[in-house]
Structure 1
């Protein structure tokens, strides 16, 4: 029994592994359970191999020579890629053959893999069918823009943000937009309960039917705050060459709740759910306002960077923990500067897009 299992076909073409998967050998089961515990890094590869063995549905317990294993895998690869099966010198009248059992196994495995590839490609083109040009709306620093989507949904883009989607929208498919930055959504409910999805990243999305919420995708902040209705916030990881995704974290929100994506030490995302006392603060930009409620000045500094492109430094670091509550016109940020200077007895110096709080 081999110990150095590195690739998918090392497992699929191992008779002991197949016996374990198909429940035909108790000794094999004991060995592979021990192997799996000792090699947790191989768990995903093993799950893929188990799927293929089940798909074969064929007697795979025969002892194969190494050359036969290599030949079977060559047959599988050639079925998928359409390339010549082997570099063997097949002169006229001479045919290199596998024994029937090996041929049947190769054929079934190849058919399974080919079906997966064909299905993935078909789904991709099916999703792309009817999709035309990409429509994109964007705002500059300090600018807010209202957008009316093809289904009648309304989106208010905050400053330094963009929204894109493909048209025309088909009633048979999910309505989907991609957001970078921040926006407030008023999503219309369709008679056929057509879903609406906001993509914040390739693997982060918000799914709704009809509701009102604020979505944020900034370098330091990814979250959704719900005003009305119900939304589902999901984080996924890619699989099968990026064609399919597996959900790794998901939260359903009710009005007055928020969920944020926080970095996790494993590299995957985790969701932090909370109750929001004043959700209107997060969508105040649609009314041309900046609103803060007991916000540390570090949060104020981040808003100044996100909305106006201003870089804030604190010469007096004690100011970083001071907290501010108030509202100012979004298009008159100098009013905020005056309020902060008077309230905290500080001085704000500006040179270009650089601000210093001292």
Structure 2
């Protein structure tokens, strides 16, 4: 094999190296020995090597499956008209300025106070960005990319622990209630999207409210979920996954692992026979592009493995190789064209 400058190798370089591809695909003794030697000499490239190996493994695991796609002067003027214009003019000017300054300051104070105590705090993430948010009660929220939460500031929060969610968020709710038979208003915690309402006392859960998917994954504790459209309510237990169907009714199951639903917190997608259509939908949610396929049948190809989501380019590289297509970008549209 040709000796190359692996010190400058990025993930993409490994993925386009024929020797590396052969090593991952066939695991021949000579190739394994060669790449072990490369890593021994360039241990600083271990992360790129491992990531490239995972991505290539995903590409090589692609299997087509044929499944159809379902889917304030006017106030002073009034006072001034009642005072003789020719008396104490200088003093009046000073008094006017002092009085108006005080009125303006008071008005500004009360206006700001009214706004502050009645307004909400809104936190958003950009495409490809995640954020950790600490709520006033100590509860924690991790926001996925292209998502937002909104909640009451100041004292209103103490009587109404309510969070509005758009996108995807992972909650670790602080437990306040001690008597489950007498839950006070300020002790309840409610997270709501445009289609789902989740009510909890203290628990850990993931709420996903995307155009293509609305679901709640309960990691720990107990929650009540409600479908706003149909009014249907369900009580979930740890490990339950409640997904909203097209009829605004829940489908609840308990998968062997909820790691795939929570993998986004580690900037990954874990896939087990996952449709390309779902991977593309997640890419569109995370990065704000519209992906157009040349053949809708491609959307039904299913794959296993892991895809890193912290880079738009990495996700596109995987899709390009899985589908054997070229990538063409025009503004916010990405076309996957047949080769």
Q: TM-score range by the shorter chain?
A: 0.5 to 0.7
Task: Give aligned pairs, total.
Answer: 216
- Cross-structure match for 1:307: 286
The alignment partner of 1:285 has SS state of helix
> Aligned-pair distance for 1:131?
5.3
TM-score (norm 1): 0.55
How far apart in 2 are the matches of 1:310 and 1:291?
Answer: 21
- Cross-structure match for 2:210: 218
Structure 1 residue 296 and structure 2 residue 275: aligned? Answer: yes
Structure 1 residue 167 and structure 2 residue 159: aligned? Answer: no
- Cross-structure match for 1:83: none
Q: Which runs of 5+ in 1 are unaligned?
A: 1-127, 238-246
Q: Is the helix fraction higher in 1 or 2?
A: 2
How far apart in 2 are the matches of 1:310 and 1:231?
Answer: 34
- Cross-structure match for 2:237: 254
- Cross-structure match for 2:190: 197
- Cross-structure match for 2:219: 227
- Cross-structure match for 1:87: none
> How big is the alpha-carbon RMSD for the aligned residues of Structure 1 and Structure 2?
2.5
Q: 1:263 to 1:131 in 2, by over 3 A?
A: farther
Equivalent residues in 2 for 1:137-148, closer than 5 Å: 137-148=123-134
The alignment partner of 1:188 has SS state of coil
Equivalent residues in 2 for 1:1-358, closer than 5 Å: 132-169=118-155, 173-192=159-178, 194-201=187-194, 204-236=196-228, 248-264=231-247, 269-357=248-336, 358=338
How far apart in 2 are the matches of 1:335 and 1:236?
Answer: 37
How far apart in 2 are the matches of 1:232 and 1:292?
Answer: 28
The alignment partner of 2:249 has SS state of strand
How far apart in 2 are the matches of 1:338 and 1:311?
Answer: 16
> Aligned-pair distance for 1:140?
1.1
Paired residues of 2:196 and 2:214 also in contact (CA < 8 A): no
How far apart in 1 are the matches of 2:158 and 2:122?
Answer: 22
Q: 1:182 to 1:236 in 2, by over 3 A?
A: closer
How far apart in 1 are the matches of 2:292 and 2:326?
Answer: 12
How far apart in 2 are the matches of 1:317 and 1:220?
Answer: 17
How far apart in 2 are the matches of 1:287 and 1:220?
Answer: 21
How far apart in 2 are the matches of 1:315 and 1:222?
Answer: 28
- Bigger relative contact order, structure 1 or 2 (CA pairs below 8 A, ≥6 apart): 2
